[in-house]
Amino acid sequence: MHYVYILMNDKGEKYIGVTNDLKQRLTQHNSGQTKTTKNNGVYKIIWYCAFNNKPRAYDFERYLKSSSGYAFTSKHLI
Domain ranges of the chain: 2-77
Residue 77 has pLDDT above 80, yes or no: no
- The CATH code for residues 2-77 is 3.40.1440.10
Instruction: Enumerate the H helices of the chain as residue ranges.
Output: 22-30, 54-64, 67-72
pTM for this entry? 0.91
Residue 78 has pLDDT above 80, yes or no: no
Which residues make Cβ contacts (< 8 Å) with residue 49, sequence separation at least 6?
Answer: 3, 4, 5, 60
